[in-house]
């Protein structure tokens, strides 16, 4: 008689275990389906920003506010514990696309796989152009907009330094939360290193006395040509002029000295109007760089090409290249070639417009 209850107990235990296993399998299926199923409502190009102090519930509220279906919060908490992401969400902007799953997003936020944006300082930009471009860069935090150049350089840790030429043309990565000041600090440090490297590599017979003079001459070379192969030639030409006391007579310095008065054209009166940057009226280098030189321009000035040319002028055929000359007579002949090519280019453009 005692055996019958045991059989019933064993049957109930088996049934309980079967139900529990089924419930566990159902829960696991639901959990894995949640973790690996793309979240509905994500539009292409969407993102979510994790700010300092944001918890997982806060991030979920941001997702829901953006129209994204997140499912149950408890599932996110379980998944976060499994991935060891609980309490470890890193600050930044995270990209989303229609295939993003909860698991992928939590791993990205745990590992800090944030969206990286790019800001490029273009070779030949002056400080005014650099600051204007920075003011348009988003989503950078703008901490320098209201600062003048003097206050900016002091904040960067270089009080009294003229800002022109001090930021290396390069592409800098940044993330949401970074500031324009941080980008400028990195660009300044990069230029310091590039200039120090170029100065160490300078030729023994260089006419330049200081790294600052090298930076200034490199900025002029940068503005004079966009043709990489010509930079050493032009650097050598200017070095020879400096060595013999001949004025540089370079238009980009005149333009820089004109400031806002420059309207795209240089007149004879502008060449005769004396400013600290007018290398037609003053000998030697201008007092500061006139633009941001790239590494190629720095290296060209450090090791300029040898030769005997003292004059150069654009070919005028639209290629951006120049004609070099040893004597004034040769230079005047080259100027004649330039004018002929320039007029031919203008005529071709006029004919094309009429057609």
Contacts of 229 (CB under 8 A, 6+ apart): none
Number of domains the chain is built from? 3
* Residue 161 sits in the same domain as residue 244: no
Predicted local distance difference test score (pLDDT) of residue 54? 93
* Residue 63 sits in the same domain as residue 137: no
Predicted local distance difference test score (pLDDT) of residue 103? 93
* Residue 179 sits in the same domain as residue 294: no
**Dihedral class, residue 177 (left if φ above 0, else alpha if ψ from -120 to 50, else beta):** left
Neighbours of 153 (CB within 10 A): 19
Q: Tell me the residue ranges of DSSP E strands in the chain.
A: 47-50, 92-95, 117-120, 171-174, 311-314, 322-325
Predicted local distance difference test score (pLDDT) of residue 21? 47
* Residue 185 sits in the same domain as residue 300: no
Does residue 188 sit within a domain?
Answer: yes
Q: Which of 284, 296, 334 is nearest to 312 (CA)?
A: 334
* Residue 260 sits in the same domain as residue 347: yes
* Residue 215 sits in the same domain as residue 347: yes
Does residue 6 sit within a domain?
Answer: no
Predicted local distance difference test score (pLDDT) of residue 12? 56
Separation of CA 112 from chain center: 21
Does residue 282 sit within a domain?
Answer: yes
Compute the distance between CA of residue 305 and CA of residue 205 in angstroms, rounded to an integer.
Answer: 12
Does residue 16 sit within a domain?
Answer: no
Tokens of 253: 């310095």
| pTM for the model | 0.81
* Residue 209 sits in the same domain as residue 350: yes
Contacts of 284 (CB under 8 A, 6+ apart): 242, 248
Residue range(s) defining the domain that contains residue 188: 117-195
Compute the distance between CA of residue 70 and CA of residue 38 in angstroms, rounded to an integer.
Answer: 10
Low-confidence ranges of the chain (pLDDT < 70): 1-32, 347-355
Q: Which of 292, 290, 203 is nearest to 250 (CA)?
A: 290
Does residue 309 sit within a domain?
Answer: yes
Does residue 178 sit within a domain?
Answer: yes
Rg of the chain over all Cα atoms, to the nearest angstrom: 33
- Running DSSP on this structure, what letter comes out for residue 244? H
* Residue 242 sits in the same domain as residue 298: yes
Is there a contact between 110 and 90 (Cβ–Cβ < 8 Å)? yes
Render 250-310 in DSSP notation, one character per residue: -HHHHHHHHGGG--S---HHHHHS--TT-TTTS-S--SS-SS---HHHHHHHHSPPP----
Predicted local distance difference test score (pLDDT) of residue 231? 97
pLDDT digits (tens, 9 = 90+) for 272-287: 999 999 999 999 999 9
């Amino acid at each position: 008689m005692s055996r019958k209850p045991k059989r019933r107990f064993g049957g109930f235990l088996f049934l309980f275990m079967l139900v529990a296993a089924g419930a566990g399998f159902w829960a696991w299926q639901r959990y894995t389906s949640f973790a690996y199923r793309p979240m509905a409502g994500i539009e292409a190009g969407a993102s979510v920003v994790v700010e300092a102090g944001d918890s997982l519930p806060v991030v979920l509220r941001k997702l829901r506010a953006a129209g994204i279906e997140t499912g149950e919060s408890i599932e996110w908490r379980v998944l976060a514990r499994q991935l060891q992401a609980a309490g470890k969400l890193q600050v930044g902007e995270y990209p989303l696309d229609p295939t993003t799953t909860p698991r992928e997003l939590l791993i990205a936020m745990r590992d800090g796989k944030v969206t990286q944006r790019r800001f490029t300082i273009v070779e030949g930009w002056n400080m005014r152009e650099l600051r204007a471009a920075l003011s348009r860069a988003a989503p950078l935090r703008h901490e320098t907009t209201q600062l003048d150049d003097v206050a900016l350089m002091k904040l960067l840790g270089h009080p009294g330094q003229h800002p022109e030429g001090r930021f290396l043309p390069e592409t800098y990565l940044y993330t949401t939360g970074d500031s324009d000041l941080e980008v400028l600090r990195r660009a300044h440090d990069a230029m310091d290193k590039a200039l120090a490297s170029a100065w160490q590599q300078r030729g023994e017979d260089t006419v330049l006395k200081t790294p600052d003079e090298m930076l200034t001459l490199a900025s002029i070379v940068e503005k004079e040509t966009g043709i990489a192969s010509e930079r050493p030639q032009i650097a050598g030409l200017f070095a020879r002029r400096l060595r013999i006391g001949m004025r540089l007579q370079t238009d980009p310095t005149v333009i820089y000295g004109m400031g806002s008065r420059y309207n795209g054209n240089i007149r004879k009166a502008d060449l005769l109007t004396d400013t600290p940057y007018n290398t037609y009226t003053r000998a030697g280098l201008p007092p500061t760089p006139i633009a941001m030189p790239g590494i190629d321009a720095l290296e060209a000035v450090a090791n300029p090409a040898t030769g005997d040319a003292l004059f150069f002028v654009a070919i005028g055929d639209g290629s951006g290249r120049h004609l070099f000359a040893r004597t004034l007579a040769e230079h005047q002949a080259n100027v004649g070639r330039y004018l002929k090519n320039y007029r031919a280019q203008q005529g071709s453009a006029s004919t094309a417009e009429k057609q």
